[in-house]
Structure 1
Amino acid sequence: MSETPDEIRTLDLFAGAGGLSLGFARARKGFVPVQAVEVDQAAARTFKQNFDCPVHDGPIEELSEFEEADVVLGGPPCQGFSPLGKNRDADSRARLNALWEQYLRAVRLVRPRAFVIENVPQFQKSAQFAELLRLMVTDEDLREYQFAYGVLNAADYGVPQIRRRGIFMAVKEVGAVPWPPPATHGPKSKAQRPYSTVEEAFEGLSWTPERSDVGVGSDGRQDLHFGRNVRPISLERYAHIPPGGNRFDLMRNAPEITPRCWLEKPTGTTDVMGRMWWERPSGTIRTEFYKPEKGRYLHPEAHRPITHREAARLQSFPDDFEFVGNRVEIARQIGNAVPPGLARAIALHLHSLLEPSGRD
């Protein structure tokens, strides 16, 4: 039973650093995390640092029961479905793909009023998702839920980043689940409010190579301005890439310092060695955003990749959210997170379908 009439208790599975829970808590509609499960030790420590609830920092399979909750949240690992995970062996992919079944096990045990599954868009085209849809209408424990799903772009909800995620929402005791949540930004929004931009996200930030740490700044908040030891030739390459440019600009402007592998591949992705635009949202922030050769991660103006703090801002994490771990671990947490801004929009939409009273 919820402790107060308006409290909506959330259980976060495969919680990562806590992007989903943070977005729900910031919706200010009574959502309160009561438990999280996260196998990655650094991410689990980050969740513990920011939320006042128990965190199981091990495999979900170890748990035979969970805290009572009104809403179950979770993003089962997506590497098995993501194109970025296509090189994994078949057994590894199958093991990752099967974790959504552990999520459903928790739903059956907890019997929440609602649950939300977040994953890569490709999940919703998989055989596993087809099985989920079948279970939602045939399984005795699941067919009491109405559900809706689709791919949401975080930029449509005020996040300064183009990031598409597959969202599945199921709710008890409603006639239907309206979909999608109303957009607040961009051409899909009623007010036609423009997308949030990189420039807006970076407002107030300053960084120099001398400030390169995970310490505490003068304002008492984490710096997260990790630098990267960049070779002189890399700096020279960055200088040839204009705002919105990419490796093809380098190939045209300075073929003599372009890596041979790129010269021999005149077609392909336009994000590699890409520079952001000030006046647009960023591209998708992944776990190795500090490597420009992995995507569009060059600062719009400075000849360097974005810092961890800048990446966290693009993911819509507030500066008072504290990450725990080394630079690689923190980058992984940032890149894997559900943007709290997107999670907040999902929370508001779900809240509109729930009675404010506690659990039956």
Structure 2
Amino acid sequence: MSGLRCVDVCAGAGGMALGLEQAGFDPVLLLDRKPVACDTLRRNRSAWRVLQTDLLDFAPSRHRDIYDVDLLSAGLPRVKAGAVAAPSGAAPELRLVEATVYLVHAVQPRALVIENVPGLVDAPDLEPMRDFIREELHHLGYRLLWFLLNAADFGVPQHRRQGFLVALKMPWFDAFRPPAPTVRESFSVGRALHRSMAAGGWPDATRWAGQAAGVAPTLVGGSESRGGADLGPTGTRRAWARMGVDGGTVADEVPGPDFRWAPEAGRQGMVRITTGQAALLQGFPEDWVFAGKKTARYRQIGHASPPPVARALGCAIRAAFVGPESSLDGYTPTL
């Protein structure tokens, strides 16, 4: 079997689709409601068919080529704490969960992936949502598995716990195993960003990289209605400060030869990361281009699903379809 096809909804900056492409899936349709995200997708993969529309308004009957695809993936907006735990008429994030499940009715993929916050898997207040998903998908002949993955276990230099639902039709469900970690040791921030930090001639790049010896805290994209780009709330900024990084903002460019790194002096003595460096911390390749101004770029990055995790998950699903030998050592992107 070859030429596996997938549909990716709420595609964002393309982290999920890119990882699935690397795992051997051909994205036949990507859907997102934000113009800037669709622009990002088109800039990086001109051959991908990108549709700008809200998932709640999507009419699959107008896109019949998506029927019977192998995989439907959805990196849905994060379900917020305190969201009403009932799909119909609830918070917007839960309505999108409901819409994804109803899309399965029409598309009938062999497999479904929904990625969200860790609470997707076991939060008590989301149990009604899980019950809804389970009942609907069981009715359609799917079996479900809920599990957590940490991006740091897949070579991403970031502590990022993700909640996943994977549903497959029989007999492929019995052959599926969640992906195992792909690295033995975590990839540190300093190792990931040393080269880019030194690119502007900053003489302290090596010394800084030695201090930034841990993985990054979870990047947070933030709300569209809240301020500019920063690396997260107070606790996250403290973790960045221990690496000598000012987490209160995002830089326009890497430090130059005259920058004096003195983190003991406070924020003005700390280095700042750029949106391109944030993308590296999210597992994107260096040549992945993000559309929009700085804040828009950073939000796309912060909300993205890390491609290395999506690749590992795609390889696990592919192995369930065609056998363990299907895990790929390389891939040929559609440019």
Aligned-pair CA distance for 1:20: 0.3
- The alignment partner of 1:109 has SS state of helix
Determine the C-alpha separation between the residues in 2 that align with 1:166 and 1:314.
19
Per-residue deviation, residues 10-51 of structure 1 (Å, max 9, x unmatched): 100011111000111123xx3111111101111111112122
Alignment of 1:114 with 2:111, yes or no, is yes
Aligned-pair CA distance for 1:92: 9.5
Q: What stretches of structure 1 of length at least 5 have no aligned partner?
A: 186-192, 212-242, 244-274
Alignment of 1:290 with 2:226, yes or no, is no
- Picking from 154, 159, 163, the partner of 1:162 is 159
Question: What is the TM-score when the length of structure 1 is the normalising length?
Answer: 0.68
Figure out how many residues of one structure are paired with residues of the other and give that number. Answer: 271
Give the % identical residues.
Answer: 30
Aligned-pair CA distance for 1:290: 2.9
Distance 1:299 1:128, change over 3 A: same
Bigger Rg, which one? 1
Alignment of 1:34 with 2:25, yes or no, is no
Matches within 5 A, 1:322-333: 322-333=289-300
Alignment of 1:44 with 2:38, yes or no, is yes
Per-residue deviation, residues 138-192 of structure 1 (Å, max 9, x unmatched): x2x2xx223211111111111111000101111222252544311123xxxxxxx
- Picking from 10, 15, 23, the partner of 1:14 is 10
- The alignment partner of 1:36 has SS state of strand
Q: Show the counterpart of 2:134.
A: 133
- The alignment partner of 2:196 has SS state of coil
Alignment of 1:317 with 2:284, yes or no, is yes
Alignment of 1:74 with 2:74, yes or no, is yes
Indicate if the aligned counterparts of 1:298 and 1:305 stay in contact, CA closer than 8 A.
no
Determine the C-alpha separation between the residues in 2 that align with 1:276 and 1:24.
33
Which amino acid counterpart does residue 22 of structure 1 have in structure 2?
L
Question: What is the TM-score when the length of structure 2 is the normalising length?
Answer: 0.73
Aligned-pair CA distance for 1:201: 1.1
Q: Show the counterpart of 2:307.
A: 340
- The alignment partner of 1:203 has SS state of helix
Determine the C-alpha separation between the residues in 1 that align with 2:194 and 2:174.
41
- The alignment partner of 2:26 has SS state of strand
- The alignment partner of 1:353 has SS state of helix
Q: Show the counterpart of 2:320.
A: 353
Q: Which piece of structure 1 moves more, 199-208 or 7-16?
A: 199-208
Determine the C-alpha separation between the residues in 2 that align with 1:150 and 1:293.
26
Which amino acid counterpart does residue 73 of structure 1 have in structure 2?
S
Which amino acid counterpart does residue 311 of structure 1 have in structure 2?
A
Determine the C-alpha separation between the residues in 2 that align with 1:345 and 1:103.
22
Alignment of 1:123 with 2:66, yes or no, is no
Which amino acid counterpart does residue 281 of structure 1 have in structure 2?
V
Distance 1:204 1:39, change over 3 A: same
Q: Show the counterpart of 2:192.
A: 201
Determine the C-alpha separation between the residues in 2 that align with 1:58 and 1:71.
20
Determine the C-alpha separation between the residues in 2 that align with 1:134 and 1:276.
51
Aligned-pair Cα RMSD in Å: 2.9
Q: What stretches of structure 2 of length at least 5 have no aligned partner?
A: 203-207, 223-228, 245-260, 262-269, 324-335
Which amino acid counterpart does residue 42 of structure 2 have in structure 1?
K
